[in-house]
Structure 1
Amino acid sequence: MTTTHLTHITEPPGVAPGTGYTHVVTGTGRLVQLSGQVAFDEHRNLVGEGDPKAQARQVFENLRRCLAAAGADFSDVVKFTIFMTDIAYLPAVREARDEYLSGLPLPASSAVQVAALFKPEVLIEIEALAIVRE
């Protein structure tokens, strides 16, 4: 599937279909790399302590704002890397992602359970790569 300047290959020959992500995304343009975002608001207050859904929504809002600062949006994202302190948070992350990417092809994605993030109350961190049409 082609979206503007990106091509999404959801089922490469000989590779099992993915659920909730695209295996390959290619494109041309300017690379934008976002640092991992956590559920801090603009005053560095944690949103949703102990609540993975609230944290995931804040993380995606932060990603949206960072993308906008680079002249990009979620349609330009080619890859998410999701770090969680419990893989059981993945449904909450996908729910928030689907709210922000509604109607868009899903980017490539990796989801990793980690022993800890930089603060014990932070449950989720997501970094992103985007390619913006020039």
Structure 2
Amino acid sequence: MARKYQLGVTRKAANVVVTALLERGIPVNGRTGYLLTTRGRKSGVDRTTPVNVLEVGGDRWLVSPYGQVGWVHNLRADATARLRRGRTRETWSVEEADAAAAGPVLRAYVRKIPVTAPFFDAKLSDPAEAFAAEADRHPVFRLARSRG
């Protein structure tokens, strides 16, 4: 049974450290770490959180390994993702992937960032179809078009 994500004291502290590093342009998790800013779906206030952007099949993807978190809801309400690392800033339109497209991306994500594996029922050795079965619990978004 997959673990349920809870934003506790340790994770909050880690996010503060990772955010500070990314703001200074220092890579985290290789070159996959970015700060994602979305517009709050209810408040309209910008919300920023550290995320990993993964390249699979020639596309760039945002994965929510911890499930239906705030930034997922915000992207569903406003499909604009602003990514930042140091001085590099990108704005993208996003498209949520269906289960068939999400499966290989989720599998690649867990392989690239194995610390997220406990939050999945599928195991590293499982085929993409096993990860596709979890796509409703781990939303995946394709970075579709750069907005400059």
Q: TM-score, normalising length from structure 2?
A: 0.28
The structure where helix makes up a greater share of residues is 2
What TM-score results when the alignment is normalised by the length of structure 1?
0.30
